[in-house]
Amino acid sequence: MRYWSFRDGFGLENLVACEGEAPQPGPDEVLLELSMASLNYRDLVVMRGQHGKAVTTPLIPLSDGVGTVIETGSAVRDFSVGDRVSPAFFQHWDGGAPPQNLESGRLGGPLDGVLTSHGVFPARALVRVPEYLTDAEAATLPCAGVTAWSALSEPAPVRPGETVLILGTGGVALLAISLAKAAGARVIVTTSSAERAAQVKKLGADLAIDRNEVPNWSKMVREVTGGAGCDRVVELGGAATLMESVKAAKTGGTIIVVGNVTGNTAEVFLPLLLTRRLTLHSVSVGSRQAFVALNRALDHHRIRPVVDTVFLFDQAPDAFRALERGGGFGNVCISCAQETGR
Amino acid sequence: MRYWSFRDGFGLENLVACEGEAPQPGPDEVLLELSMASLNYRDLVVMRGQHGKAVTTPLIPLSDGVGTVIETGSAVRDFSVGDRVSPAFFQHWDGGAPPQNLESGRLGGPLDGVLTSHGVFPARALVRVPEYLTDAEAATLPCAGVTAWSALSEPAPVRPGETVLILGTGGVALLAISLAKAAGARVIVTTSSAERAAQVKKLGADLAIDRNEVPNWSKMVREVTGGAGCDRVVELGGAATLMESVKAAKTGGTIIVVGNVTGNTAEVFLPLLLTRRLTLHSVSVGSRQAFVALNRALDHHRIRPVVDTVFLFDQAPDAFRALERGGGFGNVCISCAQETGR
Amino acid sequence: MRYWSFRDGFGLENLVACEGEAPQPGPDEVLLELSMASLNYRDLVVMRGQHGKAVTTPLIPLSDGVGTVIETGSAVRDFSVGDRVSPAFFQHWDGGAPPQNLESGRLGGPLDGVLTSHGVFPARALVRVPEYLTDAEAATLPCAGVTAWSALSEPAPVRPGETVLILGTGGVALLAISLAKAAGARVIVTTSSAERAAQVKKLGADLAIDRNEVPNWSKMVREVTGGAGCDRVVELGGAATLMESVKAAKTGGTIIVVGNVTGNTAEVFLPLLLTRRLTLHSVSVGSRQAFVALNRALDHHRIRPVVDTVFLFDQAPDAFRALERGGGFGNVCISCAQETGR
Amino acid sequence: MRYWSFRDGFGLENLVACEGEAPQPGPDEVLLELSMASLNYRDLVVMRGQHGKAVTTPLIPLSDGVGTVIETGSAVRDFSVGDRVSPAFFQHWDGGAPPQNLESGRLGGPLDGVLTSHGVFPARALVRVPEYLTDAEAATLPCAGVTAWSALSEPAPVRPGETVLILGTGGVALLAISLAKAAGARVIVTTSSAERAAQVKKLGADLAIDRNEVPNWSKMVREVTGGAGCDRVVELGGAATLMESVKAAKTGGTIIVVGNVTGNTAEVFLPLLLTRRLTLHSVSVGSRQAFVALNRALDHHRIRPVVDTVFLFDQAPDAFRALERGGGFGNVCISCAQETGR
Provide mean pLDDT across the span D159-188.
97
- Nearest Cα to Cα of residue D164 among D95, D247, D91, D221: D221
Q: Where are the beta strands (DSSP E) in chain C?
A: 2-6, 15-19, 29-38, 64-72, 84-87, 118-122, 126-128, 163-167, 186-191, 207-210, 230-235, 249-257, 265-269, 279-282, 307-311, 331-335
- Nearest Cα to Cα of residue C119 among C37, C33, C39: C33
Q: Which residues in chain B have their CB less than 8 angstroms from residue D75's CB?
A: 26
> CB contact, 8 Å: C216 with chain B?
no
Share of chain C above pLDDT 70, in %: 99
DSSP symbols for C59-75:
B---SEEEEEEEEE-TT
Distance from CA of D47 to the nearest CA of B (A): 28
Supply the pLDDT for residue C259.
80
Q: What is the mean pLDDT of each run of 10 residues along chain A (342 residues)?
A: 97 97 96 98 95 93 98 96 98 96 94 98 97 98 98 97 97 97 98 95 97 96 97 94 96 93 86 93 96 98 97 98 94 84 36
Strand partners, B256: B234, B281
Contact D289 B26 (CB under 8 A): no
pLDDT tens-place string over residues D262-291: 888 999 889 899 999 999 999 989 999 999
pLDDT tens-place string over residues D220-234: 999 999 999 999 999
> CB contact, 8 Å: C271 with chain A?
no
What is the ipTM score, two decimals? 0.95
> CB contact, 8 Å: A27 with chain C?
yes
Contact D273 A252 (CB under 8 A): no
Supply the pLDDT for residue A341.
38
**How crowded is residue B327: how many other Cβ atoms within 10 Å of its Cβ?**
8
> CB contact, 8 Å: C156 with chain A?
no
Strand partners, B265: C269
- pLDDT of residue D330 exceeding 90, the answer is yes
The number of C-beta contacts closer than 8 angstroms across A and B is 55
Contact D251 A102 (CB under 8 A): yes
Phi, psi of A188 (to 5 degrees): -115, 135
- pLDDT of residue D341 exceeding 60, the answer is no
Supply the pLDDT for residue C340.
42
Residues of chain B below pLDDT 70: 338-342
- pLDDT of residue D84 exceeding 80, the answer is yes
Asked whether the beta carbons of B65 and B36 are under 8 A apart, the reply is: yes
pLDDT bucket at C70, cuts 50 / 70 / 90: very high
Q: Which residues in chain B have their CB less than 8 angstroms from residue A184's CB?
A: 182-184, 297, 300-301
* Averaged pLDDT score across all residues of chain D: 95
Burial class of C171 by CB neighbour count within 10 A (0 to 12, 13 to 18, 19+): buried
Better-predicted residue by pLDDT, D52 or C125: C125
Contact D252 A284 (CB under 8 A): no
User: CA-CA distance, D267 to D246, in Å (whole number)?
Assistant: 11
pLDDT bucket at D260, cuts 50 / 70 / 90: confident
Q: Which H/E stretch holds residue A247?
A: helix A242-248
pLDDT bucket at D339, cuts 50 / 70 / 90: low
Q: What share of chain A is helix, strand, coil (3-state, %, to 5)?
A: 30, 30, 40
pLDDT tens-place string over residues B291-331: 999 999 999 999 999 999 999 999 999 999 999 999 899 99
Interface of D with A in 63-102 (CB under 8 A): 97-100, 102
Supply the pLDDT for residue A150.
98
> CB contact, 8 Å: C183 with chain D?
yes
Provide mean pLDDT across the span C90-107.
95
Q: Which range, of B199-203, C12-16, C326-330, averages the lowest pLDDT?
A: C326-330
Long-range contact pairs involving C262-266 (C-beta distance under 8 Å, separation at least 24): C262/C237, C262/C238, C263/B270, C263/C238, C263/C239, C264/B269, C264/B270, C264/B271, C264/C238, C264/C239, C265/B267, C265/B268, C265/B269, C265/B270, C265/C239, C266/B267, C266/B268, C266/B270, C266/C238, C266/C239, C266/C242
Q: What is the crossing angle of helices C288-301 and C171-182, to 10°?
A: 60
Better-predicted residue by pLDDT, C263 or C279: C279
Provide mean pLDDT across the span D45-70.
95
pLDDT bucket at C339, cuts 50 / 70 / 90: low
3-state secondary structure chain B: CEEEEECCCCCHHHEEEEECCCCCCCCCEEEEEEEEEECCHHHHHHHCCCCCCCCCCCECCCCEEEEEEEEECCCCCCCCCCCEEEECCECCCCCCCCCCCHHHHEECCCECCCCECEEEEEHHHEEECCCCCCHHHHHCHHHHHHHHHHHCCCCCCCCCCCEEEEECCCHHHHHHHHHHHHCCCEEEEEECCHHHHHHHHHCCCCEEEECCCCCCHHHHHHHHCCCCCEEEEEECCCCCCHHHHHHHEEEEEEEEECCCCCCCEEEEEHHHHHHCCCEEEECCCCCHHHHHHHHHHHHHHCCCCCEEEEECHHHHHHHHHHHHHCCCCCEEEEECCHHHHC
* Averaged pLDDT score across all residues of chain C: 95
pLDDT tens-place string over residues C177-228: 999 999 999 999 999 999 999 999 999 999 999 999 999 999 999 999 999 9
Provide mean pLDDT across the span C271-292.
95
Supply the pLDDT for residue C99.
95
Q: Is A65 helix (H, G, I), strand (E, B) or coil?
A: strand
pLDDT bucket at C342, cuts 50 / 70 / 90: very low
> CB contact, 8 Å: D154 with chain B?
no
Strand partners, D234: D166, D256
pLDDT tens-place string over residues A243-262: 999 999 999 999 999 987 78
